[in-house]
Chain A
Amino acid sequence: MFRIILARLVSTVIVVFGVASLVFLLIHFVPGDPVDMMLGENAQMADREALRESLGLNRPVGIQLLHYFSNLLQGDLGTSLHSREPVVQMLAERLPATAELAMASLLISCLIAFPLGIIAALNKGKTWDKTAMGVSLLGVSIPNFLLGPVLILIFSIYLGWLPVSGREGLDSMVLPAITLGTALAAVLSRMIRSTLLEVLQEDFIRTARAKGDSHYQVVIRHALPNAMLPIITLLGLQLGVLLGGAVITETVFSWPGIGKLTIDSIMKRDYPVVQGCVLLISLTYVIVNMLTDLLYAWIDPRIRLGQ
Chain B
Amino acid sequence: MMGQLHVSSAIIIIWVMGSFLAQWLPLDINHIQLEAILKPPTLDNWFGYDDLGRPVFDRLLSGSYTSCVVALTVILMSACIGTIIGTLSAYLGGMFDQVITRVIDIFLAFPGILLAIALAGIMGPGIDNVVIALSIVGWVGFARLARAQTLSVKHREHVVAAEVMGTGRAKIIFRHLIPLISTPLLVEATFGIASVVIAEAGLSFLGLGVQAPDASWGSMIRDGTRYMLVAPHLVLIPGMALMMVVLAVNLAGDRLRDRLDVKTQINENGV
Contacts and interface: CB of A to CB of B under 8 A. Distances in A.
Interface of A: 11, 14-15, 18-19, 22, 26-27, 29-31, 37, 137-138, 140-143, 145-146, 149-150, 152-153, 157, 187, 190-191, 239-245, 247-248, 251-252, 262-263, 266-267, 271, 274, 278, 281-282, 285-286, 289
B247 A145 contact: no
A143 B198 contact: yes
Interface string B47-72: 00000000000000000000000000
Nearest to B247: A141
A37 to B, nearest CB: 7
A152 B112 CA distance: 24
B106 A19 contact: yes
A247 B117 CA distance: 9
Given A26-B119, A262-B121, 9 more contacts: A14-B105, A15-B105, A30-B122, A30-B123, A140-B269, A141-B243, A241-B111, A241-B269, A267-B207
Contacts of B93: none
A186 B111 CA distance: 18
Contacts of A11: 105
Nearest to A130: B1
A274 B114 contact: no
B109 A26 contact: no
B256 interface: no
A28 B9 CA distance: 43
Interface in B205-243: 205-208, 218, 221-222, 224-225, 228-229, 232, 235-236, 239, 242-243
Given A153-B228, A157-B228, A245 B118 contact: no
A12 to B, nearest CB: 9
A190 B246 contact: no
B172 interface: no
A19 B109 contact: yes
19 contacts: A14-B105, A15-B105, A18-B102, A26-B119, A140-B250, A142-B243, A145-B205, A149-B224, A149-B225, A240-B112, A241-B112, A243-B114, A251-B206, A262-B114, A262-B121, A271-B122, A278-B114, A281-B111, A289-B109
A267 B225 CA distance: 19
A18 B239 contact: no
A266 B228 contact: no
A16 to B, nearest CB: 8
A130 B53 CA distance: 42
B205 A153 contact: no
A271 B123 CA distance: 11
Contacts of A244: 111-114, 117
B161 interface: no
B115 A278 contact: yes
B242 A274 contact: no
